[in-house]
A and B are shown apart, each in its own frame.
Chain A
């Protein structure tokens, strides 16, 4: 256990030293939030105050990018021969993946704190319980995405990772309504309620006092988590058998 913690510590050190990544992941959502929410402070969107909706939308987007990038770094380490080097040490696969998950989540939490701070600066006011509930739901809703990062890390080459990560997160953010709601009825709505990022963005609905997700939200997150996990195991086995 002590060894696992030490190893994860170095992984965190590395994540926070990667300044380019830091800026792109954390600063873009902030800029977008201030420019869009700043000029629509008093509007309403998707049934909640605009800054609340947009704060959670941007937080979802930033946190999705952060959490997926943890596992996505695996592709770089694979192509650099580092994962092979680690396979001739006592490091277990679970500690290796665990360090990526922890680093991804920590980055995501930093992203959430910054966006929440930005929200407060534009007049968002929630009770302590609502802040905690929104944060809790966001962290749960990120589970399928953290695993998806590990999946992409084994599926894609280091060269294609940058655009692929941006594209995948972009599609999920768009369909989930992170950049603006897609309408509450119709075929598209019936499709997007089955996508985990939709429920990430819905974490903002705690501000309505309507409480947490309905059962559907929990089921969607659970099913996506299990399917992506299964897929990741298959791809990981195929990948390590080849190396």
Chain B
């Protein structure tokens, strides 16, 4: 074992996985240090779930290796070092929340007390309710309680808020933060940029089965969280628009202009003060999908041309 593997919570090396002709993961290398909270951000079909399944030992990679705390996933799972929340999982019915958490905790060598877990996950008031009678947000917190009950060092969550409304989503992350504060390493998959930005120290962007960006949340947000400004503005050279602060690309289509911005607020202020004739102004967010594709294909080609997409 290398020193690297020993000091890391997660080491993925050269992971490749295909399902028949579909290449789900095409070469993923990733290291996650102890105590980091990492978001795996990407559109549907990017390979996030397959990567997480390989991390948890549920899926065997075609090539490459997974090491959790220097161990194989099965071994790390068996000693209770890993808690996982899978996508689309439901709860076992005919048990109460307390019974279910106790049942799962009972499988581990050194679990947290059920009361502590219920308290941390904000499920005390529904502890005696049968699992089939929970709302979506409640069920998700119970699933989180099951992931937490072994008192794992590493939490792996696959799109934990995908099916929740905004309120439940915020509640869930509140609970999550409390447990991350316990010093755990957290990896979560999401396709919401806001979630990655708000709750992760580090964001790993995946698309088409590989990692295309990896860095602090703020940096990733600047790269993918772009907005477009559209306006009607005749007789202004496209080059001078491209030089506006906050603008990274500009195009003209007849009388209308399109500005691709990293900071649309700043760009818009300057646009209006320098070119008061600009009208029909529209500011739209760039879809994550589009932003990811731009990252994949390199910033230079996408930022300047734009027409080929």
Residue A82 at the chain B interface, CB threshold 8 Å: yes
Taking a contact as CB atoms under 8 Å apart, the answer to whether B106 and A88 are in contact is: no
| Cβ-defined partner of B94 (8 Å) among A17, A88, A90 | A17
In the complex, what's the smallest C-beta–C-beta distance from B153 to chain A, in angstroms?
A: 14
How extensive is the interface on chain B, given as a class? 20 to 34
Q: Chain A residues near B30 (CB, 8 Å)?
A: none
Taking a contact as CB atoms under 8 Å apart, the answer to whether B108 and A88 are in contact is: no
Q: Which residue of B lies closest to A11 (CB)?
A: B103
Taking a contact as CB atoms under 8 Å apart, the answer to whether B90 and A89 are in contact is: no
Taking a contact as CB atoms under 8 Å apart, the answer to whether B82 and A82 are in contact is: no
Taking a contact as CB atoms under 8 Å apart, the answer to whether A13 and B86 are in contact is: no
* Most chain B CB atoms below 10 A, which of A7, A17, A18, A84: A84
In the complex, what's the smallest C-beta–C-beta distance from B69 to chain A, in angstroms?
A: 15
Residue A3 at the chain B interface, CB threshold 8 Å: yes
With A3-B106, A7-B106, A7-B107 known as contacts, the answer to whether A85 contacts B86 (CB < 8 A) is yes
Q: Chain A residues near B2 (CB, 8 Å)?
A: none
With A89-B107, A91-B107 known as contacts, the answer to whether A10 contacts B78 (CB < 8 A) is no
Q: Which residue of B lies closest to A88 (CB)?
A: B84
Taking a contact as CB atoms under 8 Å apart, the answer to whether B90 and A81 are in contact is: yes
| Cβ-defined partner of A81 (8 Å) among B89, B108, B109 | B89
Determine the distance from Cα of A14 to Cα of B58 in the docked complex, in whole angstroms.
26
Q: Which residue of B lies closest to A21 (CB)?
A: B94
Q: Which residue of B lies closest to A91 (CB)?
A: B107
In the complex, what's the smallest C-beta–C-beta distance from A170 to chain B, in angstroms?
A: 26
Residue A243 at the chain B interface, CB threshold 8 Å: yes
Residue A6 at the chain B interface, CB threshold 8 Å: yes
Determine the distance from Cα of A77 to Cα of B95 in the docked complex, in whole angstroms.
14
Q: Which residue of A lies closest to B146 (CB)?
A: A85
With A7-B107, A82-B92, A85-B146 known as contacts, the answer to whether A90 contacts B86 (CB < 8 A) is no
Taking a contact as CB atoms under 8 Å apart, the answer to whether A13 and B106 are in contact is: no
How extensive is the interface on chain A, given as a class? 20 to 34
Q: Chain A residues near B212 (CB, 8 Å)?
A: none
Q: Which residue of A lies closest to B83 (CB)?
A: A88
Q: Chain A residues near B79 (CB, 8 Å)?
A: 90
In the complex, what's the smallest C-beta–C-beta distance from B255 to chain A, in angstroms?
A: 54
Taking a contact as CB atoms under 8 Å apart, the answer to whether B89 and A88 are in contact is: no
Would you list which residues of chain B between 201 and 250 have a CB under 8 Å from chain A?
A: none
Taking a contact as CB atoms under 8 Å apart, the answer to whether B108 and A89 are in contact is: yes
Taking a contact as CB atoms under 8 Å apart, the answer to whether B58 and A243 are in contact is: yes
Determine the distance from Cα of A14 to Cα of B146 in the docked complex, in whole angstroms.
18
| Cβ-defined partner of A88 (8 Å) among B82, B91, B99 | B82
Q: Chain A residues near B104 (CB, 8 Å)?
A: 89
Taking a contact as CB atoms under 8 Å apart, the answer to whether B80 and A90 are in contact is: yes
| Cβ-defined partner of A14 (8 Å) among B87, B94, B106 | B94
Taking a contact as CB atoms under 8 Å apart, the answer to whether A10 and B89 are in contact is: no
Taking a contact as CB atoms under 8 Å apart, the answer to whether A80 and B90 are in contact is: yes
With A7-B103, A7-B107 known as contacts, the answer to whether A14 contacts B90 (CB < 8 A) is no
Q: Chain A residues near B94 (CB, 8 Å)?
A: 13-14, 17-18
Would you list which residues of chain A between 9 and 48 have a CB under 8 Å from chain B?
A: 10, 13-14, 17-18
Would you list which residues of chain B between 173 and 216 have a CB under 8 Å from chain A?
A: none
Residue A216 at the chain B interface, CB threshold 8 Å: no
Q: Chain A residues near B28 (CB, 8 Å)?
A: none
Residue A125 at the chain B interface, CB threshold 8 Å: no
Residue B77 at the chain A interface, CB threshold 8 Å: yes
Determine the distance from Cα of A6 to Cα of B79 in the docked complex, in whole angstroms.
18
Taking a contact as CB atoms under 8 Å apart, the answer to whether A10 and B103 are in contact is: yes
Residue B273 at the chain A interface, CB threshold 8 Å: no
Taking a contact as CB atoms under 8 Å apart, the answer to whether B89 and A80 are in contact is: yes
Q: Chain B residues near A7 (CB, 8 Å)?
A: 103, 106-107
Taking a contact as CB atoms under 8 Å apart, the answer to whether A82 and B90 are in contact is: yes
Taking a contact as CB atoms under 8 Å apart, the answer to whether B92 and A88 are in contact is: no
Would you list which residues of chain A between 69 and 104 have a CB under 8 Å from chain B?
A: 77, 80-82, 84-85, 87-91
With A6-B106, A89-B77 known as contacts, the answer to whether A14 contacts B92 (CB < 8 A) is yes
Sample of 25 A–B contacts (CB below 8 Å): A3-B107, A6-B106, A7-B107, A10-B95, A10-B99, A10-B103, A17-B94, A17-B95, A18-B94, A80-B92, A81-B86, A81-B87, A81-B88, A81-B89, A82-B89, A82-B90, A82-B91, A84-B86, A85-B89, A87-B58, A88-B57, A90-B78, A90-B108, A91-B107, A243-B58
Please list the residues of chain B having a beta carbon within 8 angstroms of any beta carbon in chain A: 56-58, 77-80, 82, 84, 86-95, 99, 103-104, 106-109, 146, 150
Please list the residues of chain A having a beta carbon within 8 angstroms of any beta carbon in chain B: 3, 6-7, 10, 13-14, 17-18, 77, 80-82, 84-85, 87-91, 243
The 4 closest A-B pairs by CB, nearest first: A81-B89, A14-B94, A80-B90, A17-B94
